[in-house]
Structure 1
Amino acid sequence: MRKQLNTKEQWFANTEEEANKIVDEAKEEFPDEMIGHSIQQKSNKAGEYFLVKLDMKFNTPAGIMESELSNESEEDDWNEEETESTEETSTTEDDE
């Protein structure tokens, strides 16, 4: 099994307004996953720009393992219920 735990994104923006818009859209789309961001004003020989960095955290190893354990226990409960109802049916058939 492979599951993504976190990601770091970098975005380019020409203006500070564009940079803020990138952050706002990420906050709307991933409100629980976004754990940090930064906007840095940079420059090079071609001019100035803004570098936007977004840090996203989707899960933790413990969280994945716990969800897998709860899924397995739900399947076990379902299988036990199915087995019990099958045993009751076969018992009544044998009695006749």
Structure 2
Amino acid sequence: MKKSKWILTGLLMAAPLLAQASCESVKDEINQKIIKNGVPENGFTLEVVPNDQADQAGGQVVGHCENDTQKIVYKRNGSESDTGVPANAGTSQDSPAQ
């Protein structure tokens, strides 16, 4: 009985860590969405930065990860005049409230 309590306690403590998406998996998901929207693979970069550095990163925040402690920033390569991000490039959590 005591052993099962320890196992249950361990699982409950680990659950939030397992539920958090890794930055690389979120970044890869966003990367694929942008490519599917017609942006060439070499036409943009995605960078993972700490929350407090997102404004200085020089791009648009399109996602977040690690329990919202990191932001994923989109930067368009090439033409400075075309800096728009496809509307459905980010995660559902990053969509504006309607």
So what's the TM-score if we normalise by structure 2? 0.29
Larger Rg: 1
Q: Which has the higher helix share?
A: 1
Q: Which has the higher strand share?
A: 1
